[in-house]
Copies of this chain bind each other. A is one copy, B any other.
Amino acid sequence: MKTRKFILSEKEMPTQWYNIVADMKNKPLPTLHPGTKQPVKPEDLLGLFPKGIVEQELSTEAFIDIPEEVQDLYKVYRPTPLVRAYALEKALGTPAKIYFKNESVSPVGSHKLNSAIPQAYYNKLDGVKNITTETGAGQWGASMSYACKHFGLDLTVFMVKVSYEQKPYRKSMMNTWGANVIASPSTLTKNGREILRKHPNTTGSLGMAISEAVEVAMTQPNTKYALGSVLNHVILHQTIIGLEAEKQMEMAEAYPDIVIGCFGGGSNFSGIAFPFLKNTLREDKKIRIIAAEPASCPKLTRGTFQYDFGDTEGLTPLIPMYTLGHDFEPAAIHAGGLRYHGAGSIVSQLLKDNLIEAQAIPQLETFEAGVLFARTEGIIPAPESTHAIAVAIREALKAKEEGVSKNILFNLSGHGLIDMASYDKFFSGELTNYSVSADQILESTQRLSQIIL
Say yes or no: is A44 at the interface (Cβ < 8 Å to chain B).
no
Residue of B nearest to A167 (CB): B420
Q: Which of A359-401 contact B (CB under 8 A)?
A: 371, 374-375, 377-380
- Given the known interface contacts A178-B375, A375-B178, the answer about A76 and B172 at a Cβ–Cβ threshold of 8 Å is no
Q: Is A173 an interface residue (CB 8 A)?
A: yes
Point out the residues of chain B lying under 8 angstroms from A107, CB to CB.
377-380, 415
Q: Is the CB of A76 within 8 A of B420?
A: no
Contact residues in B for A379 (Cβ distance below 8 Å) = 107
A354 within 8 A of partner (CB): no
CB distance from A9 to the nearest CB of B (A): 6
B residues less than 8 Å from A5 (CB atoms): 10, 75
Min CB distance A337 to B, Å, is 16
Annotate A170-185 by CB proximity to B: 1 below 8 A, 0 otherwise.
0011011110000000
What residues on B are CB-neighbors of A257 within 8 Å? none
A contacts with B: majority SS:
helix
Tell me whether A126 is interfacial, beta carbon within 8 Å.
no
Question: Is B380 within 8 A of A173, CB to CB?
Answer: yes
Binds B, one of A213-221, A281-289, A421-429: A421-429
A173 touches B4 (CB 8 A): no
Number of interface residues of A (CB under 8 A): 45
Given contacts A2-B72, A76-B4, contact A423 B176 (CB under 8 A): yes
Interface code A155-179, partner B: CB below 8 Å = 1, 0 otherwise?
A: 0000000000000110011011110
A172 touches which one: B71, B178, B378, B421 (CB < 8 A)? B421
Q: Hey, what's the 0/1 contact readout for A97-127 against B, CB within 8 Å counting as 1?
A: 0000000010111000000000000000000
Asked whether A417 is an interface residue with its Cβ less than 8 Å from the other chain, the reply is: yes
* A428 to B: closest C-beta gap in Å: 10
A380 close to B176 (CB less than 8 A):
yes
When distances are taken between beta carbons in the complex, the residues of chain B under 8 Å from A378 are 76-77, 107-108, 146, 150
Which residue of B9, B76, B420 contacts A169 across the interface (Cβ within 8 Å)?
A: B420
Known: A109-B417, A423-B172. A374 touches B72 (CB 8 A): no
Q: Does A3 contact B (CB under 8 A)?
A: yes
- Asked if A417 and B374 make an inter-chain contact with CB atoms under 8 angstroms apart, the answer reads no
Give the distance in Å from the alpha carbon of A146 to the alpha carbon of B7 in the complex: 23
Q: List 9 A-B contacts (CB under 8 A).
A: A1-B71, A3-B10, A7-B7, A107-B378, A107-B379, A146-B378, A175-B423, A176-B420, A177-B375
- 9 further contact pairs, Cβ within 8 A, besides A169-B417, A177-B375: A7-B7, A7-B10, A87-B150, A107-B377, A168-B420, A172-B421, A176-B375, A176-B427, A418-B420
